[in-house]
Structure 1
Amino acid sequence: MKAKPRVKICCIASLEEAQAAISAGASALGLVSAMPSGPGVIEEDVIAEIARRVPPPIGTFLLTSETSAEAIIAQQRRCGTNTLQLCDYVDASVYRELRRELPGIALVQVIHVTGPESIEVARAAAEHVHALLLDSGDTTLPVKLLGGTGRVHDWTVSRKIRESVKVPLFLAGGLKADNVAEAVAAVEPFGLDLCSSVRTQGQLDVIKLEIFFAALAS
């Protein structure tokens, strides 16, 4: 019997939301710093407070739109998370600098699945990071869309990416209780990442969390 995917709840806005997500069964939390667009952005001092208070087994993901090593390193040191989620694409030299300057900090590269061309992008990034996260954004738009779309992308492409890389893979983009079983069967990801489907009027909804985890367990 295959293990159920880990679950990361993104767009955590407060310590109370962090505690609710963990109580529901989340293995990781997404903490969104400044972005060109999308939901869930909070101040860095709030991110730092949540990261300090969350128990060590839980992944604290700093979502960053920065693309220079210097800016990303400085931001992680201010926020103190144990994981960096790179929401935009960066040069290979940036990965090397991050590994050198931030030993022990996990690197997760977001791959925006726009079509089959995303497979090669994922393969290249996988050589440098600890995990990939497949989402439904688009970095080619005038205002980059780096996540939080609530849209499902082509899971057949996601499956091909999973089969062609050796690092763990998180699946994001429009996941909810009524499609999570199909998503897991189609992609077989290591983890799932969700935000809008477990919120009501922007607030984390414990009932929707319970429904999602029940659907995942069934």
Structure 2
Amino acid sequence: MTKVKICGLMDKETVDATCRFGADYIGFVFAPSKREVSAELVRQITKDVPATIKKVGVFVSPTIQQLQQTIAIAHLDFVQIHGDFPTERVDIPMIQAKSVTNTQNYQTIADFLLLDAPPKEYHGGNGVMFDWQAVNLNQLPQIPYFVAGGLRPENVQQALCYFQPFAVDVSSGVETDGQKDLKKIEQFINQVKEYDYVSTTR
């Protein structure tokens, strides 16, 4: 079954609702962004999150010390890294975000790969789709991968059909006027569940 990551969460009400709707991963941004949060805040707003739902910290070119400190304070389960990827490992699974271009090399030492649109104002969460056909699926490393970049309830099933990914990742696609929209979050997750159900009952 396809996993769902809802990223850029900033308050407990949205975190709790997102968990209730059935998300598998919830993401928190620890880099310059309109969605940036502190490690202390994340620890507070995720205190009721079930252990089965994984907390992902999103970073841009972090040092290993920044990662370790934030993991310890926010009680993260995964880290997602855009930009420069550290040469050292941390003790939790690592996701490397790569911008899709015609010349991109997708090889990675991370545990997971995330395909995203090239950066604009921020490294992620810009609501921009990339050219899906620019990705040669046969050249991707043999590790689970996430697909992000401009996904929303209206197009996520198309992305699932094209990529058959391990997980899909959304932030701005479930927002209204720059704020997380609970109705859109629920719709997005339901679209993924519906696709999986139909695929397994054909």
TM-score (norm 2): 0.87
Report the residue type matching 1:44 in the other structure. A
Task: Compute the RMSD of aligned alpha carbons.
Answer: 2.0
CA 161–68 in structure 1, closer or farther in 2 if over 3 Å, else same: farther
Shift of 1:162: 6.4
| 1:57 alignment counterpart | 52
Q: Could you tell me the percent identity over the aligned residues?
A: 26
Shift of 1:163: 4.8
Report the residue type matching 2:161 in the other structure. A
In the TM superposition, what whole-angstrom CA distance separates every residue of 1:70-119 from its partner, at most 9, and x where no partner exists?
332223223220111112222xxx34x22xxx32x110011111x1222x
Distance in 2, matches of 1:111 and 1:132, equals: 7
Corresponding residue SS for 2:98 = strand
Q: Which runs of 4+ in 1 moved over 3 A?
A: 50-53
CA 52–192 in structure 1, closer or farther in 2 if over 3 Å, else same: same
| 1:148 alignment counterpart | 125
| Ranges in structure 1 where 5+ consecutive residues have no aligned partner | none
| 2:43 alignment counterpart | 48
Aligned length: 194
| Ranges in structure 2 where 5+ consecutive residues have no aligned partner | 196-202
Correspondent of 1:133 among 79, 90, 114: 114
Contact 1:172 1:192 in 2 (8 A): yes
Contact 2:15 2:46 in 1 (8 A): no
Corresponding residue SS for 2:65 = helix
1:167 aligns with 2:143: yes
Distance in 2, matches of 1:187 and 1:117, equals: 19
| 1:116 alignment counterpart | 102
Contact 1:162 1:189 in 2 (8 A): no
CA 204–67 in structure 1, closer or farther in 2 if over 3 Å, else same: closer
Contact 2:23 2:189 in 1 (8 A): no
CA 49–66 in structure 1, closer or farther in 2 if over 3 Å, else same: farther
1:85 aligns with 2:80: yes
TM-score (norm 1): 0.81
Contact 1:66 1:72 in 2 (8 A): no
CA 11–162 in structure 1, closer or farther in 2 if over 3 Å, else same: farther
CA 89–74 in structure 1, closer or farther in 2 if over 3 Å, else same: same
Shift of 1:185: 1.2
| 1:15 alignment counterpart | 12
Corresponding residue SS for 2:34 = coil
Correspondent of 2:164 among 183, 188, 206: 188
Report the residue type matching 1:8 in the other structure. K
Distance in 1, matches of 2:141 and 2:132, equals: 15
Contact 2:113 2:144 in 1 (8 A): yes
Greater share of helix residues, 1 or 2? 1
